[in-house]
Amino acid sequence: IGNTISLHCLIIPIGQFYNLPHYKVVQKVTIDKTQAVSELKSIIQNNLGTPFNNIPLEVQKFHPAIDIKMCIQLRAPISDYFNKKPS
């Protein structure tokens, strides 16, 4: 459990995601920090289900308290972006 992280993932329901059911907009994903971001993306898309799981998905890190958004590289390990304990 020490090498896993739980992330709250928000899907913005615009464009092709406009009709995404409200209960799929926010997802909590627990994943090993050594996994690539692409694995996180795959888990999110699998959770979306048909037909939303085939829509291209952009993964970003967002921190609302300091209003920072950043695109993240799919091949990078999750720990490159989420390596600190929450404050």
Is 66 inside a domain boundary?
Answer: yes
The whole domain housing 27 covers 4-80
Is 87 inside a domain boundary?
Answer: no
The Cα–Cα gap between 6 and 87 comes to 14
List pLDDT tens digits, range 32-84.
999 999 999 999 999 999 999 999 988 888 776 766 667 778 888 888 887 76
For the chain, what is the largest distance between any 2 Cα atoms, rounded to a whole number of angstroms?
A: 37
Is 86 inside a domain boundary?
Answer: no
Is 44 inside a domain boundary?
Answer: yes
Is 41 inside a domain boundary?
Answer: yes
Is 85 inside a domain boundary?
Answer: no
Is 69 inside a domain boundary?
Answer: yes
Confidence band, pLDDT 50/70/90 cuts, at residue 1: low
Domain total in the chain: 1
The overall pTM is greater than 0.85: no
Burial string for 27-61 (b: 16+ CB within 10 Å, else e) reads eeeebeeebbbebbbebbbeebeeebeeeebeeee
